[in-house]
Amino acid sequence: MSGLADNFDAILLDLDGTVYLGHRPIPFVADTLKTVLASGSRPMYVTNNASRPPAVVAAQLREMGLTLTQDDVLTSPQAATALLVQRHPPGSVVLVVGAPYLADEVAAAGLVPVREANADVVAVVQGHSPDTGWAMLAEACVAIRAGADWVAANVDTTLPTDRGLLPGNGAMVAALMAATDCHPRVAGKPARAMIDEAILRSASVAPLVVGDRLDTDIEAAVSAGVAGLLVFTGVSSPADLLTASPARRPTFVSFDMRGLVDSHAVVEVLGGGAGWQVDEHDDTLILRAVASAGADSSDRAQDNAALHALAALAQVAWNTRVSAVTAGDERASVALARLGIGADQFTGSAAP
């Protein structure tokens, strides 16, 4: 089967919610990415995680049946270090706030990692670590207030765990912002620096960003000016798509990773919508089928129809303000149910 990946030489993949959930691989991912590799496209795994080195991430993914080396993994500490070396020469002293791996990346780049502020510190780099406390933040505060360059590996405010959402690196960054009145340069998604570094490392001329979050993965793709595929296997939902701001609008949508290799499992948002009509009435979008149902009632055909319905809705929602979405006929009801959008579930307003 031909698919989206045939049009791109590098597939820049998010991890949690896209490739796996917790310690469980998401269905269809391994087989899909084997097909992508066989077609000549290079999967690259791009993660905001700042506490695990690429070799550890690669080993975990290989246990899930994926084929890769550590060179196929890009972490936010690597992207943060790339930002540092663009501005500071080898031998520059960098205060590290974060896990030992972050300090290792700084050292590997020819910079000198330290843990205490001193007159030689020219930059602060900050990544997530469960051991970060007041004393470490205080050292960073001193250096930043003295004029040090400040780079954050990412600004994810929360970190998903088996106990729920816990404070992420962004929460610690926010504490330093409050204490210094300064703002860091950001390496990780949604900033474009990480996508730029992934494109550089993969030598890509036609990259595609794949992720499950509008506010990180897709925003990063838009910021970098490259195509983005939103998969509905993690955080963002079809209803979320309808209220996405221009900075968070994907090029393509698919229920899962199969959209990379099956042309019927993916739809281009602004080019889709075939077979559907969307009317507006009192801030409500009314979805109606305008094509015959046909004989194919397979799951694959129903998913394709639902994705086209979503594209039709998005094209209208992105240019107006809506408070509800309803079905105008039975086929529309089936499509909306498949998308998880109901009259009592969707509320909000698009940002034209």
Please state, in angstroms and rounded to a whole number, the distance separating the CA atoms of residues 179 and 130: 20
CA distances from 309 to 149, 194, 291, 326, 339 (A): 48, 33, 12, 12, 9
CA distances from 47 to 156, 193, 263, 325 (A): 11, 12, 26, 34
**What count of other Cβ atoms lies within 10 Å of the Cβ of residue 100?**
13
Active-site annotation holder among 6, 16, 256, 262: 16
Which residue in the block uniquely carries the two structure tokens 């990379």?
Answer: 260
Please state, in angstroms and rounded to a whole number, the distance separating the CA atoms of residues 298 and 344: 27
Structure-block tokens of residue 319: 């240019």
Cis peptide before 190 (omega within 30 of 0): yes
Strand positions, DSSP E, the chain:
10-13, 20-21, 24-25, 42-47, 73-75, 93-97, 112-114, 121-126, 149-152, 158-161, 164-167, 185-186, 207-211, 227-231, 252-254, 267-268, 276-281, 284-289, 324-327
Active-site annotation holder among 6, 9, 14, 282: 14
* Residue 14 appears among annotated catalytic residues: yes
* Buried/exposed 131-140: b ≥16 CB within 10 Å, e otherwise: ebeeebbebb
Q: Give catalytic residue positions.
A: 14, 16
